[in-house]
Amino acid sequence: MSHDTRSQRADLDRSSFGQVVQVGLLSLFVTALITSQVTASKLLAIDLPFGIPLAGETLLLPGAALAYAVTFFASDCYAELYGRRAAQVMVNVAFFMNFVFLALAFLTIQAPIASFSPVGQAEFASVLGASLPIVVGSLAAYLVSQNWDVLVFHRLREYTDGDALWLRNLGSTASSQLLDTVIFITLAFGLVPLLVGSDPRSLSAIAALIVGQYVLKLLIALGDTPFVYAVVGAVRSRAGDSAATASRLD
């Protein structure tokens, strides 16, 4: 790591605005991650004005794809601003937060329900009681894809000597989203159901889900690049102003 990079991160640590953004990015990452767990079981169907190989004219994808795509925006901003080590800590701590959510959801489902509850026990359990294939698929995909995202992001940063933020944002996100999509769909809708004796999706359905989810994630990755620039630029600008003010006061 260069002296200039270390100096920039020290300025971020001293900046109150930078601290707010750091907590905000951490919160956004975990919020999007937990939301994806809750929404994974719903399948979405998005009609297109044209056909796509394997997917046809309708994109089929798990509802989790919308929230989960946001985690890569948050992690790329965080990795750019606070470094590889900090980003890996965030990713791996958040992985264990999945288990906290699952444990709390399980305890709440098992707790006795009031006779006048506006939501019935079966409905509540069907929403929050994630199935084993969804849990296995999402956790495996998360662990591989998020760590890959951080690794590729910083390899591209080193390769470009800190330039071309757009390249490492798109390159890391596109490759990690592909890994995430293939692992999650294959495990959650194919391999795990087959192993536990339930009905797996057909190969054509799995292929359609992979294409549908990846296309949407790729479009979101393309769309979030200006926002990554905006967040990184705003934090570094404010950190620079804070450092300049502090040096004048000294």
Who contacts 119 (Cβ-Cβ below 8 Å, separation ≥6)? none
| Total domains, the chain | 1
CA distance 59 to 230: 30
**Per residue of the chain (250 residues), what is the pLDDT tens digit?**
554 555 555 555 556 777 888 999 999 999 999 998 888 878 888 888 888 888 888 888 888 888 988 999 999 999 999 999 999 999 999 999 989 988 998 899 899 999 899 988 888 887 777 677 888 888 999 999 999 999 999 999 999 998 999 999 999 999 999 999 999 999 988 999 888 878 888 898 899 889 888 988 888 888 999 999 999 998 888 876 554 333 333 3
Q: What number of CA atoms fall less than 13 Å from residue 43's CA on the CB side?
A: 15
The boundaries of the domain holding residue 84 are 3-249
Write down the pTM of the prediction: 0.81
